Structure formats: C-alpha cells, structure tokens
Structure 1
Amino acid sequence: MVAEGIHFQNASGPAGMRLYAIGDVHGRLDLLEMMHARIRQELSCDRPDDWRVIHLGDYVDRGPDPKGVLDLLIAAVHEDRRMIALAGNHDIGFLEFLAYPSPHGLFARYGGVETALSYGVQLDFNAPAALAIGHAALSRAVPQGHVTFLQGLGLCESFGDFFFCHAGARPGVPLEMQDSRDLTWIRDEFLDHTGLHPKVVVHGHTPSPEAEIRSNRVNVDTYACKSGVLTARVVDGAEKRILSVSG
C-alpha cells in the first residue's frame, strides 16, 4: 500500500522559486539582520527567477529587542511583498495583552517583560494598580503601525510541496481546514505523528538544539533568543539545505 502524502526527500519547491523559511526570532534583531544580509547576498549572487522569505512567527518576547524586530519586518514587508511574515503564538499573546492586561497570560509569563522594555516601559505583574499603569504606558508606547502589522499577520502559506506555519498542523485535517489555534500552538499531536502529511510542514514553535528534519516536517526553531543561533530552511527546486547565522 502506497502511503499518502509527501515525503521530505521527494518534496520540491515551485520551479524557479527559492524559498527561505526563518525560525523563531524572539527579539534577536541582531540575528535577523544577519540572516537578511546573508539572504540578500545569496539572492544577489545567484539571481533566482523568483523567491520568498517566510518568517514563521514569534517575533516578540524573551529577546532584547522585539520592537526593533517589528520595525525591521514592517519595513521589509512594505518594501517587497516577497517578504512574508506569519503569526506566532507570542505575537498573538502580545496583542491579547494590549487588549486585556492579564497578569496570567502568555505575555506575562513568558517574556513580555523584555518586550515592554524594548518600548521603554517597565511592567510589574504582581500588583494590579502597577500593572494598570504599566499597561497604559505600553499602550501609548507601541506604535499603531505595530498593532496593525501584528493584526494582519497570516497563519500559513503553501509553496510547492511545502506548507509553512508557526507551530504545526493537526494530523488528519486537510491543510486548508486547519484550526488557527493548532497552527500557532499545537505540539505533541503534531510532533509525535509519523505519518506523511499532504505537504511537508515547515514550522518553528518548539525549540531544538539544531534544525530537525523528519519525513513529514522540518523544525527550524533553534531557540535564537538563548542559543544565539537563528536558522532557516532553504528550498530551491528539489535542493534543500539549512542556513544558520550566529552571534
């Protein structure tokens, strides 16, 4: 019996189009600048017919300069629509905190302090009155353009035999019918699944010491905010390779 779906070894990108899928940045502006510089160098040297750079989400929290990361991405997407930014759960969590300042949400528990500091605001999640003051200050400090950008982030993209999203896809559900929470949050049900998907899923969300390559998925989250290594999967037709920068 022939297994349904696409195996990584047999997967290809669209003819004439090079793809770069960049893992979780988490405030490491320095690494994202390095990655963009490497990609620009390659594109200038190789001159592929077409290309896409797909950022897989989680631009904020934990690292030192989430604001700078958003500034860079907004400018890059505005300059060239072949630059694509998808939403991660931390990006959504930032919006949720701005709308409702909970001291118990993702933003408060996992790196929101660093995000606020990058906007010049110090948050105190331990006292309701202090949190209210900090939230008001942060709401004033975050440019509307940042909010609009985050609200407009897509959840997935598909090119050739590859499906790109932040966290993964629920097995057995058609890719075009995936739930938004699964695309930004799923872990075990997706990571432990050994069957093939309709397309190879390229994702981040789950930190790994190095890029993971499986028959049905590729994980490019190398925990840039702590490891100092930002990783991208490059697809050029049938050729597939890893591109990493470190600092």
Structure 2
Amino acid sequence: MKHSTLAAALLAWALSVMAGPASDTEIVYKAMTEVGCYSQVPTFKDLGKYTYQSSGYCQHQCVPQGYPVMALYDGGHCLCGKKLPPKSTKTDKSNCDKSCDGWPDEYCGGSDAYTVILTGLEDDVPTMDESSATTDGVSKTLTTQAGKTIWVTAEATQQSEEEDDGPNTAGIAAGVVVGILGLVGILAGAFFFYKRQKRKRAEEEYRRAQDINSFVAAAKTPPSEDSRWDGEYMAQRRFSNGSIADDEDFSRRILKVTNPDR
C-alpha cells in the first residue's frame, strides 16, 4: 500500500463519522494488514461498486458484518470473506495496479485481480483449502466418488440443496400450466356448444315463421274462378230471358225459346 497505516486509520475514522451508523461508534477498527494480490477470492461476498471506494471504506463495510478478510477489485468493488484465498491463487502484485476510486494513493486490485487485506477483526485468519480454488470464477469443491475425482461447483451444490429442501418448482409450474390449458379448453367447448344451440334455435324459429307466413298468404288468396262460369252472359241476362226454372244452372249457355210476339 502507498499510504501509511496512520493515514488509513484517519481515513477510516473520517468515513465512520460521515457515513457510519450510530452503533458503528462502538466498533473498534484496528489497523489493516495487506496480504497480497490474488487472482481469485472464492466464496467472498461482493458488496458491489462504490464511487468513493477505498480500503478504509471497505473495512467499515466488512467489520460490522463479522468478516476478518476483505478484498478490493477493479478500483471500486469491495468484497468480504471469512478466510484467506487459497495460496495457489496468489499472483504477482503488479496485477493489482488500479488505484482506488475514492483514494488514488492506494491500490484496489486490478481488472482481473484482488487486493486482499486483513480487516483487523481477527489476528489469526485461516486459509482456504486448495480444493476451494475456482475455475473461470466459479467456486468448486474437490470430492471423490467411485474412484473418480469430481469438481462440484458451489452454485450447483446450493441449487441441489434448494431443490431437496422444497417442492419441485418446475413440476408445479408445469401442472399449473396444464390445468389452465385444460380449463380454457373446457370453457371454449362450452362456448361453441352454446353458440351452436343458439344458432339451431334461431334457424328453427325462422322456418316456423316462414311456414306461418306461407299459411297466412294462402288463406288471403281468393279461390280461382270456375271455368263453367260465363260472366259476360250473366251480365246481359234478364230475369225473363227464358222459361227455364230458376233453380237451373245459369252458368252455362243453354238453348232458349222466346215468343216473337212479345
């Protein structure tokens, strides 16, 4: 680190006064100790990027949470851990070449490296086993199974534990989807059945109305004239045109005998 221990302590005190909670004053912050530059920090908790990041600020984030180790990354990230990273992940100090965003006089890791520092919370901090080393940033644990060496990722282990502790979320979701689709199918079938019955009733009503209209029209139509009826003759006929009895059928032309003297 470029600045002195006294400057770091003063900076930490200033930050605690400006940003720390009231209960923070009860915590005693001891001098920090830089351990070195590491390529990986497995299981460390990333607190995110801070615009004014520094070792003093990171210490005031990790110590209240009970972390004896912290790491600074990419100039602005603060990470907290319980143990020192595996020795195999230690790298050359030149890889931690990024100045802290909030205090340019010190380094806060690099683009692919972490400056690891003891927060002063514990004097004797253990180191992680080599089996906790990571590959591509994913924490792995070395296990032996049936004579084979297997690296198990921490994420996979956590996911497996979560699946064992609770119900199968995917199965429940699939069951809900199938149930909803079935309900939609039943409702759609009922709707189309109702529409079909309604249309059928409308067609029956229409045919019934047509039959009634045809019947009424037939009732109003006058009967056809008898072909035996001679209208012209009946218009010219006088009561005394003949001597045939009145109850005869006058709708036909018949032979008439008249008295010429009359």
Q: TM-score, normalised by structure 1?
A: 0.20
Whose Rg is larger?
2
TM-score after normalising by structure 2: 0.19
Which structure carries more relative contact order (alpha carbon 8 Å, separation 6+)?
1
